[in-house]
Amino acid sequence: MPVKRSIFYKFLGHVPYSNALQIQEQLHKSVLSGALGMDGCILFLSHEPVITFGKYSSETNLLVDENKLSELGVNVYRSSRGGDITCHEPGQLVIYPILNLKKMHLGVKEYVGMLELTIINFLSEFGISGETVKGRPGVWVENKKIASVGINISKYVTTHGLAINIYNSLESFSYVNPCGFSDIGMTSVKLLNGECGDLDSAGTIFLKHFENIFKVSGVKYQSIKEAAGNLI
């Protein structure tokens, strides 16, 4: 029977998107060098209203002028992750697994598939049947998107990850063609289920399924300041 690997996890609460980029960059270095002491970590957090472009996104998928978005309190970032344009909002659970795929013997497609399966199993806890759709990354419920996946991998170590709509307003998605598609709607756990709890409880449920799918044991990280370069 394979031995379970261990990873650190941490609930960070609200973190500005720009700070989260710096934290991921430092943790990437710590995982790559082995300084973290485990095969990786997984961060649970939320962001202010932001719109992010993936590295292959088209600018035409942004439907509102950036100056107007700034007036609305929505920032725009160009990101190193894969995938197209997407949004983050308060009430959305953002999850950044920073893992050494080489040590975990995982390929890129396998990793993304396991993330999507974890989301689907997470949604089942709320009585929601999620599914994947060929050619449209992320997880869907009755032709509406509930979760996005966008990753970056450098030297076998992952950054970025996924976002699940829990009880966010979804307003920011009206400013873009989500994932580059003009014909899709968005949904959330709250819209579909009514009851969704808070983000920490949602993160705990997700972690349970992540541990099962990835065959890892999560170890709560009381402090990751050193590994994250005192950014937290």
Domains in the chain, CATH or no CATH each: 5-220 (3.30.930.10)
What pLDDT is attached to residue 131? 97
pLDDT along the chain (232 residues), means of 10: 78 94 94 87 96 86 90 90 89 97 94 97 97 91 94 96 97 87 89 91 96 91 64 64
Query: What distance in Å separates the CA atoms of residue 119 and residue 161, rounded to the nearest whole number?
Result: 12
What pLDDT is attached to residue 1? 46
Coil, helix or strand for 167?
Answer: coil
Query: What distance in Å separates the CA atoms of residue 220 and residue 204, rounded to the nearest whole number?
Result: 11
Catalytic one of 41, 87, 179, 196: 179
What pLDDT is attached to residue 231? 64
What pLDDT is attached to residue 207? 96
| Residue among 30, 128, 137, 134 nearest 81 (CA) | 137
Q: What b/e string do you get for 5-16 counting C-beta neighbours within 10 Å, with b at 16 or more?
A: bebbbbebeebe
Is 179 considered catalytic here? yes
Q: Parallel, antiparallel, or unpaired for β 136-141 and 131-133?
A: antiparallel
pTM over the 0.85 mark:
yes
What CA dihedral angle connects 160, 183, 73 and 69, to 10 degrees?
110
* Helix axes of 199-214 and 108-124: crossing angle, nearest 10 degrees: 130
